[in-house]
Chain A
Amino acid sequence: MKRELAQDIGLREGIKRIDRGKIKKAIDLLFTKKAETRLKLYTSTCIHCGLCAEACHFYMSHKDPSYMPIAKVQNTIWKLLKEGANVNNQDLALIAQIAYTECNLCRRCSMYCPFGIDIAYQMAMVRRFCHLIGVTPQYIQDTAHSHAATMNQMWVKEDEWIDSVQWQEEEAREELPYLRIPLEKYEADVFYSVIGPEPKFRSQLIYQAAVIMNVAGVNWTMPATPGWDNSDMAMYVGDYELMGRLKKIHFETALRLKCKKIVMGECGHAFRSVYDTGTRWLGWKEPPLPIIHAVQFYYELFKAGKIKVGKTYPKKVTFHDPCNIVRGRGLQEMARTVVKAFCPDFVEMHPNREHNYCCSAGGGVINCGPPYKKTRVKGNKVKAEQLKRTEAEVVIAPCHNCHGGLEDIIHHYGLNMEIKFLGDIIYECMDKSTHPEE
């Protein structure tokens, strides 16, 4: 394995401050004495066959075995099992670098291992270990800090959130004069939550969601308090206590407003955290309220005739299946139903659905920031080739991280493609004449 340690003060300073006692405690807790059964099971079951290699976009792009899924386990967990607390500092930093920036936790390899060994789970355990010893990449750690201080991912202050929602409402009224974004509306059917970057960088998505909600006549609300952000970098940094805290406030905000269900914007990791990982940590076997991802929500509105095709989308499009809502929730056919209705010139990328290649940004990798941009872009040449083969002009990706990742790939490999959210297409092409007038 040839890896340079990145210029990341989170890792470089982290190892300087390291406490050996902490390392031993963390190894005992996660990998040896108190290890979860899954970890022991996977370690005992893996027959070192290397059949997971082709599951990973990093391997497929580099054809370097050190990037294959099980190699990442070998260079992290097995190393820690072998060397224990004596593992040297440089190696610890590299362990963190592998776990945080060379695995997107996309779980594709679980589908390629004959025994269904969950490598993503093991990489998440390594991240948990790195969190416990305090060696984490700076950018994602800062995001986790923001979560803890403000209950959102982007240091968005309480007034900034309300202000951006009210601003988008005002903007959208230029288009639909009666449009509302009802803040703090009790007993609404839909509690709509988004991720931190929406008010910060992509506020047009709030605008578009508002237009879709209003045209479809949905009884919806957004909160004016923390709890509006459904995202969760704490999950990806390995700080599960904080993950639980974030999910609690998100659920309690919906429960406080007595809404029937939670609809989440087009984000993948937040969905994973809310419907499954965070919920489970808190003690719920299933979420306390139904959790509907935007893709499913659009599909339901479309099937119910609440959103109609006003005009078809003229360009040739393809669809990127995000891991967390396809491999994570099986929404692939719902997405295709909507995409095909709006976009007659639709072409599949191959492989697709559960087998689609990852965007290489998810799993918190893009959140580790600029030091790792090259790694994730070069590590996903296979995605660029997959996109190129479609000859589509537009790729629809209903996930924020996928957007960021694909954007960088398209730029780097000189693909002439646009990236759209599903909501972008619906907003652009839906029949808005049905907007109710009071």
Chain B
Amino acid sequence: MQTKITFPHAGEYYVVFKDLFTNLGYEVVVPPSTSQKTLDIGIKLAPAQACLPFKITLGNLVQGIEKGANLVGMIGGKTGICRLAYYSDMYQKILADNGYPVELLAVKAKKEFWLSVKKHHPTLTLRQFMQTIRDFWRKLVIFELIREKSLAIRPYEINRGDSTRMKGRFLRQLEQTTNATELKALKQEIIQGFAAIPIDKERKIIKLGLVGEFFLLIDQFSTLNMEEFLGNNGVLLKYSLSFSEFFVGSLKQKRFLDNYLPTHNNQVYKYAQKYITRPIGGHGRESVGEAIVFKQKGYDGVIHLYPFSCMPEVVASSIVPRVSADWGIPILSICLDEHTGEAGFQTRLEAFTDMIKRKKYPFIAEDE
């Protein structure tokens, strides 16, 4: 039987993952964009206590399977010390219980991934495999460049929506790009394209860092398009974690180095040390440390996002007020769940940005 693979949408990252699986020889079924319907499926099938990312990704998978997929690509597999480690088993069981018996492919920076792919495609050589990974990596880096550029330009843009449209255009282009030469050309085009957007350099903007649970940092559906909402309100956003860093961070060698060399993560752990001395699963320790790193880099505030019932981030969220007081950085902790209303969410974000803006640019508050 031909293996058709599907995988969670993970924001717009599907563009790169689609390519990875195609090049590994799979037929790819991209699930429809995450929508309310996706979430509804997830809510119906998942245990009530499961977190929002689980429900959304489960919904993605079901929608992919309904389109004909019989193999599921899962980031992480059975690793990690939060509930993520159970997710692959839970997907499999829940999907089977509901009449979708599928196989699972754990996508991670480990030998296990190569062995599973090899089982599906016996003719694939290690050389080809490594090349595919390299190509995937190149594309991932370009993807993240597009994302970063749009975040950096949006608060300054004169014509609202310019950077969003530009991002959409380049993502479609990236989807079509196959070889390294084209990719290089695209990179130049991206840099020039974003530089050509008319901007108002004088605008009074603020810089906010985003920390928290990984899926919420990459998926715009679960955060109700926060990226655009804040960008349009004059906020320059920076994520503490991207997919490439997620992968690199999962390498044993990298983790070993972080313990001894002054790498970024080493700094993060050092700052977090006073509050959390050891890994607590997910990115709980990182959330605390990254918030302080943002402060050191001169950011005006930090937004901490976490899904309801996420253990590591719940721990982090109870530490956050102390970090905020100790380091004098405003931190807004937001808990997201399936019932999060847009209005309440935006009220908090707006109040938070107003608070920082009025502090940073006090002359706005003056009357005459």
Do A and B originate from a single complex?
no
Footprint of B on A, CB under 8 Å? none
